[in-house]
Chain A
Amino acid sequence: MKKFVIAALATVAATSAMAQNNVGSCGWGSKVFQGQRGVAPQVLAATTNGTSGNQTFGITFGTSGCTQDGVVTSSWKTAMYIDGSRVALARDAAAGQGESLDTLAAVMGVKDADRAVFASTVKRNCGTVFADEHIAANLKSVLTASPELSQYAAAI
């Protein structure tokens, strides 16, 4: 019985320790919509010759705050995708179509019926969304302002 209680406590402690890593620092700064540095410089620095020594994604290395053993934790998924795919997203946004844009809609859980409006809204506001590095924050405010899409603003 004592062993069971100890085990239970340990599990709870471990889970909360992992949960703590999700909040606050991601290694790249806190959540993008709070206006911190982006992913881009780190990615560039570590990948100039195709052998990425980016320790953030090492299976061996525990966590950067937004990844655990290389897996992106769910609360960071959208923000990291936006930041990590910013170049391709900007292109797709300007064109109003493309795989990166479709994937963004999928990550945010945009329903099929709303996809067309989503694409055209992002296209129309692409100057605002990609004006600076706070893409996720900008997108969030654009979505909030749109009657059909405001429900998705929370996904960021």
Chain B
Amino acid sequence: MSQPALTSFHHSAMADPATPAKRAGWTTHAWGRYMVLFKLIGLTLWLTAEVHAASPEATQPSADVLHQWQQKATELGLARTPMWRTLLHYRTHPITRQLRSLADDPGFFLAPDGASNPEAELQATLEAMFDTRPVHAMEQTAACRFVARQQWLRSALQIDHELWPEPDCPRFEQWRSAMRARKVSLIFPSAYLNSPASMYGHTFLRLDPAPASDSDEASAPLLSYAINYAANAHESEGIAYALKGLMGLYPGQFTNAPYYLRIREYNDLENRDIWEYELNFTPEEVERLLAHTWELGPTRFNYFFIDENCSYHLLALLDAARPGWGLADRFTWWAIPVDTIRAVAETPGLLRAVHYRPANSTELKARAQALGPQDAMLARQLANGELDPSGLAQLLPDARRQTLALEAAERLVAFDAVREGWAESLVHERRLALLQARAKLPSGDPIVVPQPPDDPTQGHATARIDLMTGQRAGRPWLTLSARPAYHDLLDPTRGYQAGAAINFFQLSLSRADDGALRFERLTPVDITSLSPREPLLKARSWHVAMHIRRDPFERRDADRHVGAELRGGPGLAWDLDPQGRALAYTFVDNQAQWDRGRSDKPWALGSGLAGGLLWSASPRWSAQVEGYARAYLASQPEEWGWTTQLRWHPHRDWSVQGLIQGMHRDGQGHVRTWGLGLMRHW
């Protein structure tokens, strides 16, 4: 646009007033107007070109501005804030004291040393925010892949959104709006002993839409989405599963599924009651949670059964919603699901409500109880196919009771089908017949299993430390024990499953006379499952334990060598009391022992019988009496013994214990121990 040319043209036209000038005059006048128009068009085009030059790639701030932001981030110390630590999952190793991210996925970091260098990671993140190449997980740009980081950096650095407009993240937006998340609930399928993997319980999150919605669908929690972190394991059972889970050899994965599928999995297939802990989150907190969930989705974390498990990672996710909260930090060495929920439930103002969903087996037992023991047997006969539904009316004239029997029978078929592995076609046929018979009867009032007064968070703390003083084989005796988890048969049962005991890594030290405190026993695992055998469910009991211990049968303390024993076996238990406060049980007590101090061979393999009574007189008192007798192969000496224990629980986390026991091994005489102790749960 050279002004001089126009001017000269203009002037030359004006300079000639002759006929050419007359034509030129018109032309000049027209041109004059057109010139203005052309100038305007030209200016517009020029401006448009400039704007086009500022297209997506070039909207990124100049290197200067980026550098400024990076410097501001350093000055503000953003890399050391709780939020950055949470978003990157940095944790100081409890032993080596090194700072490392728990994420085991190189794709989670933008700096080469991002896993251990928060500052470098932050700088690299800022830079990557403007890289428009969709090279990150799920074909996203860095700004979309790390959307929570993006949003947080934007607000922490107070970046004007004109300088850095929000990038378009269609995949995240689509997912986010489909989640329709406004409420968050922490879901706890409670522990059910018969399945080793379920021992610790499990936790996951459920995201619900806003309560008051015009759509009815909004208030159906079954349709909500559940965010779950679990090991991507393919071994279904066995030692391999346990070992790999303990050593972090499984990749952990965040998944997303409709809640109804989870209910099916936990309530029906695994017979676990589900507790739902509704939390108080603000809309901003929910948004942060969603953004960070999106970041974690494609990120691999190695799954560690003890510390970096489902519950731990869920807490880390909740921490992203409320920076500075530090929930996950409270679980350094191990994270037991119920402890993590307790941490959440005991945070002031966080827990809004608790809901309960009974498992299939719980629903079944409720109906059986309403029917009474005799009529409940009809349900068993219906389930076995021994009684045809059409013949039920004669035996149970009352329509309501017929309903209970048919519903119990159908649930029993479903229960047995999973436990026994029946053929799908047989199951289906039987269930259909029972359901059809039920459908012919009036609906009646819905059968509701009342929510138990104590949810799992009301239970005692899982770690325990014991101090006991008394006498062993006539000498003063002191023991000190500690265990990280979980619950034994005499611990206060409130909030726990009756008859279920799990003891992990309990360590005992002892002192005889005024001697030194020495190693007494280490119990890597000790599990007891006592399920009363009532005719309907025909539950089985079992017991397994491993101990590394000083010989318990040797009288002289100096001669007590360290050995090991592995024991276990199936058993049966019976309710002696309709309220379920007294239980009688018996076990096949198989045992393998290794004792260096034995006369001939250190190994002994044997079996025997153990039996006892377990009594929870009231929430404050529990007692146990147990006896056993064992015979061994290869003429190894027989053993027998008995134990009586009484415990008083003045408080949920405090117990006073009285213990008397006698042990006898042929050839080694009799050892009697008694003690009085104090136990503290924490």
Contact = CB atoms under 8 A, between A and B. Distances in A.
Interface in B544-560: none
B431 to A, nearest CB: 7
Given A59-B294, A127-B436, A130-B432, A54 B257 contact: yes
Nearest to A95: B443
B435 A90 contact: yes
A35 interface: no
A142 interface: no
A26 interface: no
Interface string B4-27: 000000000000000000000000
A124 B439 CA distance: 7
Nearest to B233: A51
A103 B439 contact: no
Given A44-B269, A53-B234, A58 B436 contact: no
Contact of A85 (B171, B216, B228, B260): B260
Nearest to B438: A94
A90 B407 CA distance: 11
B651 interface: no
B387 interface: no
A68 interface: yes
A84 interface: yes
B298 interface: yes
A71 interface: yes
A74 to B, nearest CB: 9
Contacts of B585: none
A152 interface: no
B236 interface: yes
A97 B444 CA distance: 9
Given A43-B264, A50-B195, A96 B431 contact: no
Interface in B247-292: 253-258, 260-261, 263-266, 268-270, 272
Range for the number of chain B residues in contact with chain A: 35 or more
Contact of A84 (B220, B260, B310): B260
B257 A52 contact: yes
B49 to A, nearest CB: 11
B236 A72 contact: no
Interface stretch (B152-160, B174-182, B630-638, B656-664): B174-182
A142 to B, nearest CB: 13
Interface in A64-114: 68-72, 80-81, 84-85, 87-88, 90-91, 93-100, 102-103, 106-107, 112
A88 B263 contact: yes
Given A51-B197, A99-B222, A81 B265 contact: no
B439 A52 contact: no
Nearest to A44: B269
Contacts of A14: 170
Interface residues of A, number: 52
A153 B258 CA distance: 23
B355 to A, nearest CB: 12
B436 A87 contact: no
A40 to B, nearest CB: 8
Interface string B395-432: 00000000100010011001000000000000000011
Nearest to A120: B443
B230 interface: yes
Contact of B178 (A71, A80, A127): A71
Nearest to B245: A51
B294 A94 contact: no
A91 B175 CA distance: 32
Contact of A52 (B230, B237, B411): B230
A3 B53 CA distance: 11
B174 A68 contact: yes
B477 interface: no
A1 B414 CA distance: 63
Contacts of A94: 410, 435-436, 438-439
Nearest to A84: B261
B265 A126 contact: no
B198 interface: yes
Interface string B213-248: 000110110110100101111101100010000000
Contacts of A34: none
B137 interface: yes
Contact of A58 (B216, B297, B432): B297
Contacts of A71: 174-175, 178-179, 225, 256
B216 A106 contact: yes
Interface string B132-171: 0000011000000000000000000000000000000011
Interface in A105-142: 106-107, 112, 123-124, 126-127, 130-131
Contacts of A96: 439, 443
B256 A58 contact: yes
B537 to A, nearest CB: 18
Contact of B257 (A51, A57, A107, A112): A57
A87 to B, nearest CB: 6
B450 interface: no
B55 interface: yes
Nearest to B299: A60
A59 B178 CA distance: 13
26 contacts: A43-B264, A49-B197, A50-B195, A50-B197, A50-B265, A51-B232, A53-B231, A53-B233, A57-B257, A58-B256, A59-B294, A60-B253, A69-B174, A69-B175, A81-B260, A84-B258, A87-B268, A90-B431, A90-B432, A91-B435, A93-B435, A95-B443, A95-B446, A100-B260, A103-B222, A112-B216
Closest 8 CB pairs of A and B: A70-B256, A59-B297, A49-B197, A96-B443, A60-B298, A57-B257, A71-B178, A51-B230
Interface of B: 52, 55-56, 137-138, 170-171, 174-175, 178-179, 189, 195-198, 202, 216-217, 219-220, 222-223, 225, 228, 230-234, 236-237, 241, 253-258, 260-261, 263-266, 268-270, 272, 293-294, 296-298, 310, 403, 407, 410-411, 414, 431-432, 435-436, 438-439, 443, 446
Interface of A: 1, 3, 11, 14, 43-44, 47-55, 57-60, 62, 68-72, 80-81, 84-85, 87-88, 90-91, 93-100, 102-103, 106-107, 112, 123-124, 126-127, 130-131
Given A58-B256, A69-B175, A93-B435, 18 more contacts: A3-B55, A49-B196, A49-B236, A49-B237, A53-B232, A53-B253, A54-B255, A69-B256, A70-B225, A71-B174, A84-B258, A88-B260, A93-B439, A95-B403, A95-B439, A96-B443, A106-B216, A106-B219
